[in-house]
Chains A and B, each alone.
Chain A
Amino acid sequence: DAKTTQPTSMDCAEGRAANLPCNHSTISGNEYVYWYRQIHSQGPQYIIHGLKNNETNEMASLIITEDRKSSTLILPHATLRDTAVYYCIVLFSGGYNKLIFGAGTRLAVHP
């Protein structure tokens, strides 16, 4: 599975959009980009995933660049409850996969 690089930490003001970047320059054509988050003391939570098209759900939007070497997770109106560690993970499509967590980005949403 391709490796990912994320900033260690980010800040965001409550009510503003939080844009979390992820680099995955070695991603292959059949690997998906997944985002999870872990709010303090809780189990990780699935957010969204995509292959090459932009995706949106009730939690977030995922923007993947045309060359697929990077992506951005967007929380459109961050709240204090969005304070968490966000993980960008690349997974192969099909066969056996295992979710490998890196260090992630610690997002702090402040009033």
Chain B
Amino acid sequence: DSGVTQTPKHLITATGQRVTLRCSPRSGDLSVYWYQQSLDQGLQFLIQYYNGEERAKGNILERFSAQQFPDLHSELNLSSLELGDSALYFCASSFQGATNEKLFFGSGTQLSVL
């Protein structure tokens, strides 16, 4: 068990809808990351937060947004969903968010857009 909790584990929704994915980082970790995993694209970095503030942004679509709350949990909001958004979404955490820190990944949320 990595200590990172993601909910829900599975999410099935329709095109055009909006969903929220939730992540609780490992105790003591200040930085949270979101990744998208699809068969053809591998692990794609979406966004990173550190202690409530955005630290880095990757290939995150404008339809997607995220935030990290004062208790350090994070939410990833996906709106106007398209079929191509179907993927496994991972949250990871680390202590300070430095490049050479070990990332602890949650078990992911499998999103299916029908």
Same assembly = no
